[in-house]
Amino acid sequence: MRSTPEILKKVRELEIKSKKLAKDLFSGEYHSAFKGKGMSFKEVREYAAGDDVRFIDWNVSARFGHPFSKIFEEERELTVMLLVDISNSSLFGTHYGLKRDVATEIAAVLAFSAVSNGDKVGAIFYSDKVEMYIAPKKGRQHALYIVREILSLEAKGKGTRLSTALKYFTNAIRQSSIAFVLSDFIDANYEDALRVAGKKHDLIGIRIYDQMDQALPDAGLMQLMDAETGLTQWVDTGSAFVRKKYEEHFFKATAYCLGVFKKSGSDLLHIKTGDDYVKVLQRFFKSRISPHGASHSL
């Protein structure tokens, strides 16, 4: 575990890096990508040709004998939530640092992008239970607090259960928000919770994986340990069959994850440790702005 001076030094480094990225790289793209997501009721007026029939106020229409439409206005601020997986599997990494380190950097960039746009940002840190909830607020100090907690918090839970975090999120945040889920998604049975959360919130999954999550090296007999159960086993990585089965397992998990996000109408980004996550985020934000953007484009 890092000492307090180390954590504060790292927080400062991340603030400098994240602010620069938020300013130089996302200039306007972040907010444009999610424009119109925060809508609040303004008034009702008589129905006019072209009004969306989904927004007819049936109670008022019945009272006056002809149709009235609900009018909404865009809220000036958005609420951004970061759901960060801090389970033990996030403490794995080979060549380019830990998955947790990458998640921390991305969360910092998103938090500072939010506060620099005057938006509120909050966080849920989870393992197989909710480890910590930070209610959304505005401001630099609040973003720094979130980053500090990501760096210092240690999971008490032993496994990963995204469904628990999503259910908590759905109950805790009543208004529509933008939610980024940062995880390696080594998990299952979160389809229902994702579908329910995806109906109310704009969900974006960011799947962070290490090259050794995907493929074993040809290195003979290796002892591998499950980071979450602590169980160890000897694996013959010299066997082409063993390596193929290992890779198949990774792509099966990938397909499951993709399918679940697609069904819920949510987006999923893939980032390998060592990849340029800034380019991945930029491409995603731009796809949201473009008329031919991502599946959840506006």
Please tell me the predicted confidence (pLDDT) of residue 190. 92
Statement to judge: residues 108 and 171 lie in one domain = yes
Statement to judge: residues 139 and 114 lie in one domain = yes
Residue 73's CB is within 10 A of a number of other CB atoms, namely 11
The whole-number average pLDDT for the span 247-256 is 87
Statement to judge: residues 97 and 193 lie in one domain = yes
The whole-number average pLDDT for the span 11-32 is 70
Helices (DSSP H) in the chain: which residue ranges? 4-24, 29-34, 58-64, 99-116, 140-152, 162-172, 191-200, 211-214, 240-263, 277-289
Statement to judge: residues 118 and 28 lie in one domain = yes
CA-CA distance, 267 to 28, in Å (whole number)? 20
Q: Does residue 297 lie in a domain region?
A: no
Please tell me the predicted confidence (pLDDT) of residue 262. 92
Q: Rounded to 5 degrees, what angle do the CA atoms 126, 127, 133 make? A: 20
Identify any residues that bridge with 130 across adjacent strands, giving them in sequence order. Answer: 126
CA-CA distance, 126 to 148, in Å (whole number)? 16
Q: Does residue 82 lie in a domain region?
A: yes
Q: Rounded to 5 degrees, what angle do the CA atoms 276, 98, 109 make? A: 50
Statement to judge: residues 109 and 61 lie in one domain = no
CATH number where 81 lies: 3.40.50.410
pLDDT digits (tens, 9 = 90+) for 133-182: 999 999 989 999 999 898 888 888 888 899 999 999 999 998 889 999 99
pLDDT grade, residue 293 (50/70/90)? very low
What secondary structure, in 3-state letters, does 144-209 show?
Answer: HHHHHHHHHCCCCCCCCCHHHHHHHHHHHCCCCCEEEEEECCCCCCCHHHHHHHHHHCEEEEEEEE
Q: Does residue 25 lie in a domain region?
A: yes
Statement to judge: residues 95 and 217 lie in one domain = yes
Residue 136 three-state SS: strand
More confident residue, 96 or 85: 85
Statement to judge: residues 90 and 193 lie in one domain = yes
The fraction of the chain above a pLDDT of 70, given in percent, is 85
Q: Domain end: 49, 74, 99, which one? A: 74
Q: Does residue 296 lie in a domain region?
A: no
Q: Does residue 164 lie in a domain region?
A: yes
Query: 67 lies in which domain range?
Result: 39-74
Statement to judge: residues 188 and 55 lie in one domain = no
Q: Does pTM top 0.85 for this prediction?
A: no
Statement to judge: residues 47 and 135 lie in one domain = no
Q: Does residue 251 lie in a domain region?
A: yes
Please provide residue 254's backbone torsions phi and psi, each rounded to the nearest 5 degrees.
-65, -45
pLDDT grade, residue 297 (50/70/90)? very low
pLDDT grade, residue 130 (50/70/90)? very high
User: How many domains does one find in the chain?
Assistant: 2
Statement to judge: residues 119 and 50 lie in one domain = no
The fraction of the chain above a pLDDT of 90, given in percent, is 29
